[in-house]
Structure 1
């Protein structure tokens, strides 16, 4: 097998690896859903209060910003850059590819893990007004009677 064919196969394998890492990032992102409980919250006492929704506003919950997206992008960009030119030109292309890949990977990670959310203002029956932001996976409207559920770790969710 020629060197160029080996480099191409290696590049393809690395791109596949980077894609798998990117997909795994979506699984690693913690949920901000009103319907998802962490393992630590299961079988734990939680406080329930009731109230009426004053208002609901759509918001955007930013995605994760870990080094994984940038690292995967840097590896992929570096490998792709190394297939360009020869000698010192190849070295420059590798470095530029790695830098561009790192930037693109970081942006991709944040975009992949970004979620639509709701800012929910609740007038609790005790007279207190609170705001909870959670993923927009439950239909909650102004005027709805809701439960405000608070875990021992401070995690709060609004449920109908």
Structure 2
């Protein structure tokens, strides 16, 4: 029961680390900042996979679960060895789990700009927005961050 609670807390903490990278989501620091706007037409769109993060949260939580699990094995000496082994294995598995849990579906959009040149932007799929060849779009760029949104 204790282990199930720890696994639940791990998954809850990992979902808190996820950020939305769709074309319609902005961070608080992006608000009230000027953006460059380019207009064009979608030439091609294809689904891609956005890799998840591998941070300390998954590693530490996995290590904690593995250490607790390992410490309940055998006598005093064996449980100490099992706790260390469990912590190491749990840390590796927790890191892998974090990467899998935080992975997202992306879309690569190739846009023919109004001046005839082409650019490509990858962003997270927004279930409310489907891009198709021929769609009129605008590309909003602020610093090194660009997003594609449909022209309304």
Structure number with greater Rg is 1
**Fold shared, TM-score > 0.5 on shorter chain:** yes
What value does the CA root-mean-square deviation take over the aligned residues? 1.6
Which residue pairs with 2:66 in the alignment?
A: 77
Q: Is the 8 A contact 1:15 1:76 kept in 2?
A: no
1:9-158 equivalences under 5 Å are 12=2, 16-137=5-126, 138-151=129-142, 153-158=143-148
Structure 2 CA distance, aligned partners of 1:91 and 1:24? 27
Distance 1:30 1:128 in 2: 31
Is the 8 Å Cα contact of residues 56 and 118 (structure 1) preserved in structure 2?
Answer: yes
> How many angstroms does 1:25 deviate by?
2.2
What's the CA shift string for 1:12-70, capped at 9, x where partnerless?
1x652453243222222332211110111111121221101111111000001111101
Tell me the secondary structure at the aligned position of residue 143 of structure 1. coil
TM-score, with normalisation over the residues of structure 1?
A: 0.86
In structure 1, what is the Cα distance between the partners aligned to 2:109 and 2:31?
A: 24
Q: Which ranges of structure 1 fall in alignment gaps of 5 or more residues?
A: 1-8
Q: Which runs of 5+ in 2 are unaligned?
A: none
Q: How many residues align?
A: 148
TM-score by length of 2: 0.90
Equivalent position SS for 2:134: coil
